[in-house]
Amino acid sequence: MNTILVVNAGSSSVKFQVFGIEDTAELKRLIKGQIDGIGVKPRLRASNADGRTVIDQTLEAGKAADVAAALHVVADWLRQEVRTSPMAIGHRVVHGGPDYDQAVIVDEGVLRRLEKLAPLAPLHQPNNLAPIRAIRARFPQLPQVACFDTAFHRGHSALADRYAVPERLYAEGVRRYGFHGLSYEYIASALPRVAPKVAGGRVIVAHLGSGASMCALAGGRSVESTLGFTALDGLPMGTRCGQLDPGVVLYLIDQKGMSAAAVQDLLYRDSGLKGLSGVGNDVRDLLASSDPRARFALDYFVYRAALHAGMLAAALGGLDALVFTAGIGENSPEIRARIVEKMAWLGAAIDPAANASPRPLISAPESRVAVLVIPTDEELMIARHTLALLSAIGGRAGRRIA
C-alpha cells in the first residue's frame, strides 16, 4: 500500500502520522506517533490504527540531538519496523504569507520564501521548515508538500483582510491572515456529517488550545478570524498575549528600553495565561489551582472568548451554531460551559449532562444556537492536501525514504 507521511514539527518534538492510500483513493490512518524531548531525553512513541502501542522507547540524547536527527530516527523506524516508505510527505507550515493560498509542493524557491516569514511566526515557522530542509538534503526527489494554517482564510473580503494602514504596507503583505486554518477546514468538512442542519449556516468555531483562536464560517467558508498578521492577536493563549494595543509595544521599546527581540520574547513566551496567572499556561493546572491569579486568568480567557464570539456573530449577521475544538475546547466542559453562559444573549444554552458526555451536540433543547464539540484532525487535512497535489501531477512520486 502506498503511504503518505504527515509531519508537524515543533522546537522539541516531532509529531507524525502515516496514512495508507487505499484503492478507492481513501486515506486510512496506519500510525500515529511523536518523538519529544529532542536534544535532552528523546522519547519515541507510536500507536497503530487500533490504538495499540507499537513503540515507546527512550533514546540516547545524541541520537535525536535536533529536529533533523529526530526525523531520521522516525524514518529509520518506519522503514525497518513498520516496513513503509512514504511516496510523499505533508508538512504543517503555520504561515504562507501573501504568496500561498493553498498547499504547494516545496522546491528551493518556495522554501526560501517561507523562511522569510519566520519573523511573523517565530515559535512555529523555523521548526516547521527545519525537517523540510533535512529531508531535501537526504532525499531531494521525494515530494514534500507545505500545507498552510493561513490558506483557509485567504478568501476573506477586503474589509476583513485589511488594516487601516497605508496601501504600500498592504502591498508588502501587512494584512490579516488568520491561522489554525487546517483545523477550521477540517471542522468545515466534518459539519455536513455531524450537524447537517447547520453546516451551511452561520457557525463560529472556537479552536481553544495552547494556541487559541476563533473563526466565523458562512456556508463552510471562513469570513473572519480573531487572528491577524501574526499568531499574537485575538484571544489570550497559553503564553501569547492575544489582542494588545500597539501602543504597548511602543511603550516597552521607548519607555522601558526593551529591544525588539525582548518584546517578542515577552509577548510570545511570557504573556497570556502564563503571564496573568504567574502559575503556568496549562488550563488543567489553572483549574486545579487555588491561587486567585489562576482563577483570574481563566476568567479573562472566558471573558475574551465571549467578546470575540460577539464580534464574529456580528460579522455573520447572526449565529446558528458554535463548535468547540482542540485541546481545551474538546476536553474542558467547565470552560465550554462558562463561555456559552456568557453567550446567552445570542440564544446559546448548554445541557450540563450532554456537556459532560462524549456526545457532539451539547446544547440544551431550548437553545436557539446548536453547541457542538467536534475533535479536530489537522493531520488528516494535511494528508488530503498532499494526496490531492500528487493526483494533480498525475501521481508522480519521487524517491521514497529508503
CA–CA separation, 212 and 235 (whole Å): 6
The one-character DSSP state at 81 is I
The alpha carbon of 177 is separated from its chain's Cα centroid by a whole number of angstroms, namely 14
266 contacts 252 by C-beta, under 8 angstroms: yes
* Greatest distance between any 2 Cα atoms in the chain: 64
- CA dihedral sign, ordered 207, 213, 217, 221: negative
Listed residue (22, 23, 69, 61) closest to 42, CA to CA: 61
Q: Residue 48 class from Cβ within 10 Å (0-12 exposed, 13-18 middle, 19+ buried)?
A: middle
- Cross-strand bridge partners of residue 165: none
Q: Tell me the one-letter amino acid at 333.
A: P
Q: Which three cell numbers stand for residue 278?
A: 504567574
149, 320, 351, 377: the active-site residue: 149
> Any catalytic annotation for residue 36?
no
Residue 146 to residue 148: CA distance in whole angstroms: 6
Residue type, 14: V
- With cell 504569507, the residue in question is 97
d(CA 82, CA 322): 40
Task: Give the active site residues.
Answer: 149
